[in-house]
Each structure stands twice: as C-alpha cells, then as structure tokens.
Amino acid sequence: MNNYEEVLVALRRVIRATDLHSKRLSKHAGLTGPQLLIMRSIRDLGEVTIGTIADKVSLSQATVTTILDRLEHRKLVYRVRSTQDKRKVHAHLTSEGAEILSRAPNPLQEDFTRKFQSLAEWEQTMILASLQRVANMMDADDIDAAPMLTVGSVLKDDGWKADDKS
C-alpha cells in the first residue's frame, strides 16, 4: 500500500471510530455527542447559563439553545429564568436526565485527551502539525469545527448540528 493510501485508511479509521462511538452512545443512552457534553456540563457546573454552557462545550449559544430545546422536550433538562437577572436563563438536569447521564459512556474526546496528554511534548506537537497539514491538504482550513469527536454536519452560522437529532 502506498503512503497516501495508508494515510487515507488511517483517516477512515478515525472517522469510523467516531461514528461507532456515536452509535454506541445513541444506543446505550439515547443521546448525541453534543447532548451528552451539554448534560455533563450542566451536571458539573450546577446552575449554569446557556452562554457558560456554550463556552464550555465550544458551541454557539444558538446551537446550545436548540439542543436544550430537544433535551427539555424529552424531559431530561429544564430551564429557569434567573430571579436576580431576568435576562439570564439557567439550565438544570431532571432526575431522569441525571439517571441517563450516569449510564452514558464517556465522550470519545475524554479518553483521547487523556492519552494525548500522556505523550511527550514533541510527539504532541508532531501530531498537531501533521493533522493541521492534512486538514489544509483537504481544503478544510475554513471549516468551523468544535473540539469534540462526533459525527454530523458542520454549519458555518450555527456551529455543530447532528443529523437533525442534536
């Protein structure tokens, strides 16, 4: 196999691993990757605003609001307007949301981050430079992407949206 074919196979494996994890998450918890990250942020941060969640998960506020709408419809989260500042809305997990979250697998990027950070600094830099070069070679420099490993389409104005299930 040529080097370029081996690179393409490695890229396909990364894409496939991401897809398989996403399907596992959906099957076991009924959640998408972004839904899981948002629910974990709510759990970890306590009473939290949509803007803070958006910053934590690297998604736009509009995308977080859309995801919260879907989670609220499923009775996994609820929102309450702040009594001190009526402009702020705080998100909370329901007991059902907390239960589903306790059974959900870890986000794929959590395990990746732990393994990546255990590498020597030179190796981290080499991987980063190589992946940035590959993204450039695939004309992907201008594609807006959040630092989460999940499948779906990237939307320029709205951030990330997962196959209409986000």
- Asked, for residue 54, whether it belongs to a domain, the answer is yes
User: Rounded to two decimals, what is the model's pTM?
Assistant: 0.71
- Asked, for residue 95, whether it belongs to a domain, the answer is yes
Among 20, 35, 122, smallest CA distance to 74 is for: 35
Q: Which tokens belong to 113?
A: 């981050």
The shares of helix, strand and coil residues in the chain, as percent rounded to the nearest 5, are 60, 10, 30
Nearest-angstrom CA–CA distance, 148 and 166:
13
> Which of the 8 DSSP states describes residue 150?
-
- Asked, for residue 166, whether it belongs to a domain, the answer is no
- Asked, for residue 140, whether it belongs to a domain, the answer is yes
Q: Which amino acid is at 27?
A: K
- Asked, for residue 81, whether it belongs to a domain, the answer is yes
Residues 40-83 have pLDDT tens digits of 999 999 888 999 999 988 888 999 999 999 999 999 999 998 88
- Asked, for residue 70, whether it belongs to a domain, the answer is yes
Residues 97-124 have pLDDT tens digits of 999 998 888 888 788 889 999 999 999 9
When divided into structural domains, the chain yields a total of 1
CB of 57 within 8 A of CB of 51? Answer: no
- Asked, for residue 129, whether it belongs to a domain, the answer is yes
pLDDT of residue 146: 62
CATH assignment at residue 115? 1.10.10.10
Residue span of the structural domain in which 36 resides: 3-161
- Asked, for residue 132, whether it belongs to a domain, the answer is yes
